[in-house]
Amino acid sequence: MLTREKLIEKALLLLALSAIGSLALITIFIFLEGLPIILKTGLSHFIFGAHWAPTKGHFGILAMILSSLYVTLGALIFGVPLALGCAIVLAEFAPPSLTRILKPTIELLAGIPSVVYGFLGVILLVPLIRTYLGGPGLSLLAASLILGIMILPTVISISIDAMHAVPTLYREGSIALGATQWQTVRKLVLPAARSGIITAIILGMGRAIGETMAVIMVAGNALSIPTSILDSVRTLTANIALELGYASGAHREALFATGIVLFIIIMILNTAATLIAGRR
């Protein structure tokens, strides 16, 4: 009996390690593939170079880094206020029966394939922007709006959990001092849930910066540093997906190097989220 128990324990451990193993493999692989070209081009040249002409040997990804950052920032500007408002209503004001229905519904948003978001963006949002705001329509603005919606389920769901984790005892104490429900939320629940909410926003950021398909479909993918929100942009992820099919040699390595940059950005975000969530 005991040996069988041990055996199962070992098998489970192996399964757990396999997940970490694949992470390690991915890391090693992209670094092996991508690092040589960074070293050859020079790190600062690679990151701060604005000229990307891989077939001619120019590997500067600054335009794409900036585009990724702008698109992510835009997604936060649109998505976070909406998500927080929604989370506050569902966590604090809506009757629990309504929250029980609405929260899973919002979480369904996360299950919609990103190509569907992109499709909706192309047929609904892009023409609207082109008609009413000008420019090509396929733009930084379109990508930000679509991503703003795509990060909603992540930010809402984790924010609600963070607010629910604030003990009822605190709320009662506040109400018993004569606070209104809104005062209680603003002065007590939000500060108490702050680390959870920041974590939610950072994870939303990670989702926005890593999103590929929807962005390719609505961002226009022009290779330049955007000067207006109506400009067409190409993000880091979009560039990898668009060019990997025909890239070879140094070009292919440069795409892996782009992957390294993304990998490091996401690692930083996730580490920050974990550190903040762990702080109480």
Partner 1 sequence: MNPDIITIRHLDLYYGRFHALKNINVSFARQRITALIGPSGCGKSTLLRVLNRMNDLIDGVSITGQVLIDGENIYHRETNLMQLRKKVGMVFQRPNPFPLSIYDNIVYGPTLHGRPNRNQLEEILVRSLKAVHLWDELKDRLGQSALSLTEEQQQRLCIARLLAVEPEILLMDEPCSALDPLATLQLEDLMQELAKAYTIIIVTHNMQQAARVSSDTGFMLLGDLVEFGPTSAIFTRPRDERTEDYISGKYG
DSSP-assigned letter for residue 233: B
**Residue 142 contacts by C-beta under 8 Å, 6 or more apart in sequence?**
121, 125, 126, 129, 218, 219
User: Based on C-alpha coordinates, what's the Rg of the chain?
Assistant: 22
Compute how many other C-beta atoms are within 10 angstroms of the C-beta atom of residue 38: 21
Name the segment binding partner 1 (CB under 8 A); options: 106-114, 147-155, 187-195, 236-244: 187-195
Asked if 279 contacts 195 with a C-beta cutoff of 8 angstroms, the reply is yes
Question: Minimum Å distance from CB 182 to partner 1?
Answer: 11
Q: Which of residues 191-230 bind partner 1 (CB under 8 A)?
A: 191-192
Question: Minimum Å distance from CB 146 to partner 1?
Answer: 37
279 is a site residue for partner 1 (CB under 8 A): no
Question: Minimum Å distance from CB 272 to partner 1?
Answer: 22
Interface residue with partner 1 among 44, 169, 246, 248 (CB under 8 A) is: 169
52 bridge partner residues:
59
53 bridge partner residues:
58
Q: How many Cα neighbours within 13 Å face the side chain of 161?
A: 13
Q: Which of residues 94-133 bind partner 1 (CB under 8 A)?
A: 95
Q: Cβ closer to partner 1: 111 or 178?
A: 178
- Cα distances from 8 to residues 15, 18, 19, 147, in angstroms, run 11, 15, 17, 43
Q: Cβ closer to partner 1: 174 or 199?
A: 174
Question: Minimum Å distance from CB 155 to partner 1?
Answer: 22
Interface residue with partner 1 among 144, 157, 174, 199 (CB under 8 A) is: 174
What residues make contact with partner 1 under the rule CB under 8 A?
A: 95, 167, 169-170, 172-180, 183, 187-188, 191-192
